[in-house]
Amino acid sequence: SWIMKGILDFLTGASLDARILRDNFIFKIVPMLNPDGVIVGNYRCSLAGQDLNRLWDDPSRKMHPTIFFTKSMMRHLLNDREVVLYIDLHGHSRKKNVFMYGNSESGSIREKIFPGLLCRDSECFNFDDCCFKVQKSKESTARVVTYRELSIVNAFTLEASFCGADFGPMADQHFTWRQLEEMGYMLCDAILDFCDPDQSTVNQVVRELQLLFPDDGNSDDVSDSEDDGAAAARARRRK
């Protein structure tokens, strides 16, 4: 994952921002949750043919060890400290752009703040493609289980399209490895803004979100796949 490489390069770098993050946060990073599947050419299923991102509600220690032990690690960490953020990095085979899936079941906008920060300076990340509704078919995914069962409010899947962007200067082009690495850098920058004692940037994003979601704060995207109405609505907004 070039995004993961960007995150690791940023966090281990010599910049002041990197030192601030290292001094103030503990990062638990799992570079790959599906090594046995990837080694045989799968990007979604394990070697046993199981979709590991549909098993987080009750993973098997024997059949799904990476999920079982990652979830156990998170439980132990929660006994010791607050977990501010959980992000699962994915590639998306249908939708374009870089975007996030989150969780918003209470009608609030707090779950949308971090994606709102991430889209401010990125030419690849599109907030309009984000979705915050929880479908029944997604209830056993990592971001929903960590939100509901582990009570981590900011639990997201960060999706990077296999197909590139459909807006801005990168429209109709594939992402380069450098752009994906930069997305990793921007994610780290967004963590700095999100947790900065000076909350002026966060407050600006909150005001923007309140204008964007005056009613219940839910995105108009209702699933992981496209439909013509949602695509048309986003096209109108971009114009």
Active site residues: 159
Contact by Cβ (8 Å): 98, 125 = yes
Residue 36 three-state SS: helix
Indicate the residue type of 138: K
Contact by Cβ (8 Å): 46, 52 = yes
The rounded distance, in Å, linking the Cα atoms of 227 and 37 is 30
The rounded distance, in Å, linking the Cα atoms of 87 and 157 is 6
Alpha helices by DSSP H, listed for the chain, are 2-11, 16-24, 35-38, 65-80, 113-118, 142-148, 177-195, 200-212, 228-238
Which residues, listed in sequence order, are joined to residue 159 by a DSSP beta bridge? Answer: 90, 99
The rounded distance, in Å, linking the Cα atoms of 56 and 86 is 14
